[in-house]
């Protein structure tokens, strides 16, 4: 059910311990959906870069990033990653990038 360490090459871009349901999706899925076990690069970190960049984040209850350990958890286990810049980093004195929406993209929403 989960990708094993020896199977990582068969299920790219998934990493070990990720549910195989997320395998073989179209590239937009991996760019837009924050699934449990997704890789957050956060490459703009300056301080403690080794400990805050390229983090695999799990959303399971009771795990390191789960509901039992704080208020930042996803009840469905799936979040949005669509407007996240790979360099975004709120910790480690990193840079926080904001999405730029263009008018032709926003207007159909209101029509």
Q: 59 Cβ partners below 8 Å, 6+ apart?
A: 36, 65, 66, 73, 74, 77, 78, 79
Two tokens, residue 65: 């990033």
| Predicted structure pTM score | 0.66
In tens, the pLDDT along 57-91 reads 877 655 555 555 566 666 676 788 876 777 776 66
**Has residue 54 got a pLDDT over 60?**
yes
Any idea where the domains of the chain sit in the sequence?
A: 5-110
Cα(42)–Cα(88) distance, integer angstroms:
5
Instruction: Provide the pLDDT for residue 31.
Output: 84
| Per-residue pLDDT tens digits for 80-89 | 887 677 777 6
């Amino acid at each position: 059910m989960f990708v094993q360490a020896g199977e990582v090459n068969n299920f790219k871009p998934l990493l070990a311990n990720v549910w195989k349901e997320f395998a073989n999706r179209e590239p937009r899925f991996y760019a837009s959906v924050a699934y449990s076990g997704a890789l957050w690069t956060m490459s703009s970190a300056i301080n403690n870069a080794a400990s805050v960049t390229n983090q695999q984040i799990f959303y399971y209850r009771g795990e390191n990033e789960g509901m039992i350990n704080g208020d930042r958890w996803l009840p469905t286990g799936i979040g949005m990653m669509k407007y996240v810049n790979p360099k975004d980093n709120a910790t480690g004195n990193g840079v926080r990038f904001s999405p730029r929406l263009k008018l032709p993209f926003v207007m159909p929403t209101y029509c």
